[in-house]
Amino acid sequence: MNKNSQGAIGVFDSGFGGIDILRDIVQELPKHNFIYLGDTARAPYGTRTQQTIYHFTEQGVKFLLEQGCPLVVLACNTASSQALPLFESRGSLMGIIKPTVKAALYSKPERVGIIATEATVRSNTFLKEIKKLSNKTEVFQNPAPLLVPIVEEGEESSKIAELAVEEYLAPLLKKNIDVLILGCTHFGVLEPKIREQVGKDVKIVREGPVMGNALKHLLETNPKLEKNIKKKGKLRFYTTDLTDKFIRLGARFLGKKITAEKIEL
Ligand code: DGL
């Protein structure tokens, strides 16, 4: 076990997007130590099969647990939707889907729309979790795979982004949704473009703030877990492929410079 990292909250994502979620988490919990792992060598996960996503996620989680993380947050929707049900017995994991669904249902919507990766939509995890809490709510999903590379190329304010967002939202807007879940780590930065398309009456659920609140609440209500987490405000980044892009996008998503270490899973 790496003694330096012991006691940090682990945050796992397929690649860069989870850093956008981490930024909001750190805003809520600025003193807690975090270790982020992005499996950039094998991202995106969203186009892969459940078997592969589970295998990759299990390796990522194992790495973070070996670093002594008392809690691992799966900040990736694809990993949470495809792999988390298989980890259910392990108490030290927190996924991104359930907190997002809880936040989406807060205003008691009648029709919820979701955009996410192909794998997340195929798993129907959002749909199932919504139905568990609110059987009458109608759910409409649309995979939006092109939005991931658009964000990774820094094109979130471009005409391309506008066209892609319009295309992906059109079938959901036709259903008169009252809440839209941005069910992918990358989509939070597209919120301004998405807002332009959906108008002011649709509530947009962005996952970063949701996870910040959910994690804070989890720690407040679990003093034993909270006690095991070091509070020196340290952030460490690991990646399976240390590219310039990881450092560049990481800094953009986090809002400050990052350094990272390459590891093998
Ligand atoms: N992190 C993934 C998610 O939230 C998006 C990128 C990928 O497909 O790996 O679903």
Give tens-digit pLDDT for 30-85: 999 999 999 999 999 999 999 999 999 999 999 999 999 999 999 999 999 988 77
CA of 251 to the centre of ligand 1 (A): 18
- In short, whether 239's Cβ falls inside 6 Å of ligand 1 is no
Closest CA to 202 of 85, 95, 111: 111
CA of 224 to the centre of ligand 1 (A): 31
Q: How confident is the model at residue 89 (pLDDT cuts 50, 70, 90)?
A: low
DSSP 58: H
Give tens-digit pLDDT for 102-143: 999 999 999 999 999 999 999 999 999 999 999 999 999 999
CA of 43 to the centre of ligand 1 (A): 8
Give the position, in ligand 1's atom list, of the atom nearest the Cα of 43: 9
Q: Are 251 and 257 in contact (CB under 8 A)?
A: yes
Distance CA 14, CA 59 (A): 11
- In short, whether 129's Cβ falls inside 6 Å of ligand 1 is no
Q: Are 179 and 103 in contact (CB under 8 A)?
A: no
Give tens-digit pLDDT for 166-225: 999 999 999 999 999 999 999 999 999 999 999 999 999 999 999 999 999 999 999 999
Q: Are 104 and 205 in contact (CB under 8 A)?
A: yes
Give the position, in ligand 1's atom list, of the atom nearest the Cα of 18: 1
Three-state DSSP at 181 gives strand
CA of 184 to the centre of ligand 1 (A): 6
The pLDDT of residue 87 is 72
Q: How high is the mean pLDDT of the chain?
A: 95
E-assigned strand segments in 14-150: 34-38, 71-74, 93-94, 111-116, 138-143
- Cα 131 from chain centroid (whole Å): 21
Q: Which of 77, 80, 249 to mutate to test the pocket of ligand 1 (most atoms within 8 A of CB)?
A: 77
Q: Whose CA is nearest to atom 9 of ligand 1?
A: 44
